[in-house]
Every structure is written in C-alpha cells, then in structure tokens.
Amino acid sequence: MQNKKDREILLSHGSGGKASKDLLSMVYNILGDVVINRGEDSGLISTTEKSAMTTDSYVIDPIFFPGGDIGKLSIYGTVNDLAMVGAKPKFITVSLLLEEGFSFSSLEKILHSIKEAAKETGVKIAAGDTKVVSKGKLDKIFVNTAGVGKIIHAQDISSQNAQVGDDIIVSGDIGDHGTAIMAHRNKFESKLKSDCASVYPLVEKLIEANVEIHTLRDPTRGGLASILNEIAFSSRVDIELEETKIPIKNTVQGICDALGIDPLYMACEGRVVIVSPSSNTEKVLEILHKEASGKNAAHIGKVINKSQNPNLLLKTFIGSRRILPLLTREQTPRIC
C-alpha cells in the first residue's frame, strides 16, 4: 500500500475506471466552487455579448519556481491573453496531462494554485480533463487552458493599430519571470521572483477611465523586444525605445549579464505593454502608478514613423541608435 505522502499517479488513474474517478473527485474537491461543470461531458455557458477566446499550453521546467508554479501560470497566462484584446475573463478550461509516477502532493499543490488564481481573476472553470501517459512520454505535468472573455472596449485593440504619435508604456519592471527561472536553473542565490500575475485589473482600470488604447500586448516568450518587433511589423511602423527609460531591476540586469543574455528578450508573466496616443500618456501613467502592480510603469518609447520595412530601434545609453532585431535562436527554452 502506498501511504498518502508519497502516492504517485499511475496509468490506472487515466483508465476511466475507479482510479480515474478517485483522481477526479480529488480535483473537484480542491477546486470547489470555481468549477461550474459537475461531471457532464460539456459545461454550459451563456455568451450573448461580443467575446474573445484563446488557448495556451504550459510546459515550464521547473514546475515550481520562485514566485509561482505551473498552475498559477496556466490561469494567469490565459487570462492575460484575453485582457490583451480588451476582454474581461469569464470562463476557462483546464486540461492536465500527467506523467505516470508524478506525485499526488505536487498535483494537489498545483490544483490549489489553480483555484486561487481562478478565484482572484474571477474566472469559472467550465470544463476540464485529465490524461495520464506512461513514464518518459512527457515531463511531469503539462497544462492546457482555454479562456473566454467578454469584450469591454468599444474600439478594436490590435497589434495592427499602433500609429505614428503613439507612446509605448510598460506596466512595470521587465524580464523578472524569465530571469528568475534562469537564476533558479543555474542555482544562483537570489531573491528575485517571477512577476507571474493577472494584468486584467490594470487593463480594466484603463478602459473604465476611457483611455484610448490602440494595442495591448503581454511580453511573455521573447520578452519586450520580441513583442514590440511584432507590433512594429503588424502595424507597419518604426518604434523607438529609450534604453535609459526601460525599467529593469538591478538583480535582473546582473543575472542576465552573468549569463550573457539580454533582459530585453526575457519573458514577463505579469506585465502589459500599452500603445496609446501620446496625449493620453500622463493619464495612463497616473492610473497605473496608483496600483501596486503598476507602480513602476514607465513611458519607454514611441511610434516614430510609418515604414514599409518596419524596425524596432533602441536609443542606447550613449544616445546612439541601433536595431533591436527578432532573435534567431531562443535564449531560454521552456520557461512558460
């Protein structure tokens, strides 16, 4: 008999028989009232308004990291993707893919994180699934979530909407998540934590204050430089950033320097980049600075001109300009 402490997921937990039922009741027990589907094949939701839908899979290694875990990340990540088109997150699905031998206690911890994150962001879990695969066929646990949200912004928010005269604002320090993971993997002693969080509350505040927003993006994989390259390309504009204005923690810069990587390409999991007309910038910063998660928000650059050959440019510390390109090689695999 396995005692509860070191119980492991077995193939039979995915067989559809009694063991599967036991696993499911544990899942339901922990998640409690954030689940609105009780064992039916589909969950029922009503959406009469204009809605957004998104999905993402989470394969981060390590699954527990400073500042969060794969469960928390899988809810915030999808909630943030909804927020980026101006949608209020309403429903989410959660699929857990488990490796045979994965520990029950880790699974329990992850489920508790999922519950907390769902409660905090106000999403209901409308459907879910568990699958178990034999050992070695995946690494510990992968999570897929899909989300549905209600559009609350009158105009389209899109990567194609950045316009000449717009300012680029970031809601806080960049690169914390990716750097915290890399520091953890390299066994650096550091107090740095992932910034893993929902950015919806910030977005909601801006929309409620009737700020005109052209583009919103969360700088996850590839970091600030990659998503701004995408915005420049999609909107056919050149964007210029000012290196002196970009908020980066000294610890993040130090760890990145030691590893020979660039924080401008390091993932964030709780930041948002806002592109809006420069006449709004003061108002945007005032709103963001009132919130704890936006207190380091900064105006970091601007859309400078239309372009058939769009570029992201960096005005460096010495006042010279260079291109910030898309990277051809990933700096840091499996960080989300």
| Residue ranges that bind another protein, judged by CB under 8 A | 243-244, 250, 253-254, 257, 260, 311, 313-323, 325, 327-329
Q: How far is the CB of 250 from another protein (least distance, A)?
A: 6
Query: Which of 239/287 has CB closer to another protein?
Result: 239
User: CA 186 to CA 69: how far, in whole Å?
Assistant: 18
Q: How far is the CB of 319 from another protein (least distance, A)?
A: 7
Query: Which of 79/252 has CB closer to another protein?
Result: 252
CA atoms within 13 A on the CB side of 65: 32
**Residue owning tokens 């992932």:** 194
Mapped to the 3 state alphabet, what secondary structure does 138-202 carry? CCCEEEEEEEEEEECCCCCCCCCCCCCCEEEEECCCCCHHHHHHHHHHCCCCCCCCCCCCCCHHH
Query: Which of 164/323 has CB closer to another protein?
Result: 323
Q: How far is the CB of 188 from another protein (least distance, A)?
A: 12
Q: How far is the CB of 175 from another protein (least distance, A)?
A: 14
Query: Which of 7/185 has CB closer to another protein?
Result: 185
Phi and psi at 284, nearest 5°, equal -60, -50
Query: Which of 90/184 has CB closer to another protein?
Result: 184
Q: How far is the CB of 212 from another protein (least distance, A)?
A: 30
H-type helices in the chain, by residue range? 18-31, 70-83, 104-121, 176-185, 200-208, 223-235, 250-259, 281-290
> 335 near 267, Cβ under 8 Å?
yes
